[in-house]
Amino acid sequence: MTIYVKIMPNLTGPLVVVLLYDGLCTFEFGIAAEVFGLARPEMGPAWYRFASCAVDEGPMRAHGGLVVVADSGPELIEQADIVIVPGWKGADVPVPDTLCRQLRAAHERGARLASICSGAFVLAATGLLSGGAATTHWRYADRLRARYPDIAVDDASLYRSHNRIYTSAGSAAGIDLMIDIVRQDFGASAANSVARRLVMPAHRSGGQAQFLERPVPHREGLAIAPLLENVRANLAANWSVERMAGECRMSVRTFLRRFSEATGQTPGDWLLSERVSDAQRLLCLGQSNMEVVALASGFGSAHTLRHHFRKRIGISPSEYRARFISEQP
């Protein structure tokens, strides 16, 4: 019985099924629904189909005082191309044997499995991660490692993959993983489009650290926001501290203080990060001429680009592009 056709009848792409359970992590479910479940007519008819399925009976509670009802029952897992586990009831809550069998069967027929945050415990319980690597929220890493010693638990990365099984760290890292899945399926332009709608970076590497040592901006940072957008739109321009301060109509001294309060960085460090990120975007879009990338992202020369890129990312721009292309399906 094809249940999902009633839900998204005009689409023909991969069927994404998200598990619902009593005690649902609302934010984690929302991530999957936002990336895969929104109408995106600009993507065409081959875009993802989306549905949810209940692994518990009856109306289910969700964080925030909500009650949720699924589109269908767990039988929908049998039809899924991608199954997403949006968190779990708790790191110490057992995973039903029936659910483990269904996930193993789905993976065996070719489906991809993905988890957000504590959902890694569900995928680990299937045994499919044995001998591979996985990540989860750093708070749960020791418990995952102790319970499943045959899994190489990486508590530093945003997301990891092993044999068509994807795990992600704390909740927001699930956004990065979902966008990366879009990139693998539909390419960098589609991933960029989804990321823009989410107001998110288009591509954060799975190996990027979970710990982002940056303070929450104070309200004073609102005065800096227009400048940041202007700089991002014109990275090739010459952005001296004096010019930035002038754009904000501040003295250099006041500007440096406000900028640090808003971003947790100096203007020079922030500008370098933005230029490296833009270089990554251009490389992912297929640009191979390093002089073109350097000029467009504001580095001025390929030599300067290579120096800062390697310092920030750990590999050269050419190596980064080669790895990105090799990861394409």
pLDDT of residue 287: 82
Query: For the segment 41-52, what is each residue's pLDDT rounded down to a tens digit?
Result: 999 999 999 999
- What are the residues whose beta carbons fall under 8 Å from the beta carbon of 292, sequence distance 6 or more? 282
Q: pLDDT tens, 52-71?
A: 999 998 889 999 999 998 88
Residues with Cβ within 8 Å of 288's Cβ and at least 6 positions away in sequence, in order, are 321
Structural domains for the chain: 4-198 (3.40.50.880), 219-326 (1.10.10.60)
Residue 7 confidence class, pLDDT cut points 50, 70, 90 = low
Tally of CA atoms within 13 A in the half-sphere of 54 that contains its CB:
16
114 vs 136: CA distance, rounded Å: 12
Rounded CA separation 217/79 (Å): 45
Task: Give the Cα separation of 95 and 1 in Å (integer).
Answer: 27
Give the pLDDT score at 46.
Answer: 95
pLDDT tens digits for range 263-273 = 788 999 999 98
Question: pTM for this one?
Answer: 0.66
Q: Average per-residue pLDDT in the chain?
A: 86
**Tens of pLDDT along 139-184?**
999 999 999 999 999 887 888 998 999 999 988 889 989 998 998 8
Percent of the chain with pLDDT over 90: 60
Measured in degrees and rounded to the nearest 5, phi and psi for residue 115 equal -135, 155
